[in-house]
Homo-oligomer: A and B are copies of this chain.
Amino acid sequence: MRHNAAMLELAILGFLHDAPLHGYELRKRIAALTGHVKPVAESTLYPAIKRLEKAGLLARRTQPGAGAAPRHMLTLTAEGQAELRRRLAHPADADITDENRWFTVLAFLRHLEEPSAQAEVLERRMAFLRQPSSFFYEGDRPLRAEEVDDPFRRGILTVARATSQAELSWLRRTLDTLRAATDG
């Protein structure tokens, strides 16, 4: 289960948790979710479906094609639902640090039932965003935007800073709500 694979599989499991879908429709939904940033090829999606099927996480029933060729309606099995929750509750480190992958986790995090489990995941992201890290260093010291001469590198730091602040403030608001839900 390499880098992107985890993300793609998570998206498949997540979408199928909402409703049974066939591959082609799944493909369109994934394209809408991540396609404008990082498109997924058909020849990547179908093998991924097979992997998940082989692992018993989803089942397919062939239906006469509404439009054209026969459709393979895909349904999440009980194990599939359990696996989805496991992956959402305990994402790999790269799922927390890589924005693309993190957004995929967020897109399906509502499938975790416990607000406290959701909060735990958000807290991991918060810890990552809070640690002082840069893209450029002087020795071991992370450089701030003002200390970098190159305007393009300053841009990286400026944008990263704005993103991180916006996300931290959203995380704080959302965690407050989740904690209120747990206490109440």
Residues of A at the B interface (CB closer than 8 Å) are: 3-4, 32-34, 36-39, 94, 97-100, 103, 106-107, 109-110, 118, 133-137, 150-153, 155-156, 158-160, 162-163, 165-167, 170-171, 174, 177
Q: CB-nearest residue of chain B relative to A4? A: B3
Of A99, A106, A152, which is in contact with the most chain B CB atoms at under 10 Å from its CB? A152
Residues of B contacting A98 in the complex (Cβ-Cβ under 8 angstroms): 37-38, 100
Cβ 8 A contact of A174, one of B33, B99, B118, B151: B151
With contacts A110-B152, A167-B159 taken as known, whether A135 is within 8 angstroms of B103 at the C-beta atoms is yes
CA distance A49 to B28 in the complex (A): 37
Could you tell me the distance in whole angstroms from the C-beta of A111 to the nearest C-beta in chain B?
10
With contacts A98-B100, A99-B100 taken as known, whether A107 is within 8 angstroms of B167 at the C-beta atoms is no
Cβ 8 A contact of A107, one of B39, B137, B156: B156
Residues of B contacting A151 in the complex (Cβ-Cβ under 8 angstroms): 110, 174, 177
Contact across chains for B150 and A170 when beta carbons are under 8 A apart: no
Q: CB-nearest residue of chain B relative to A94? A: B38
Contacts A36-B133, A106-B156 aside, 16 further interface pairs with beta carbons under 8 A come to A36-B97, A37-B97, A99-B99, A100-B100, A106-B153, A106-B155, A107-B156, A110-B151, A110-B152, A110-B153, A155-B170, A158-B166, A158-B170, A159-B167, A162-B163, A162-B167
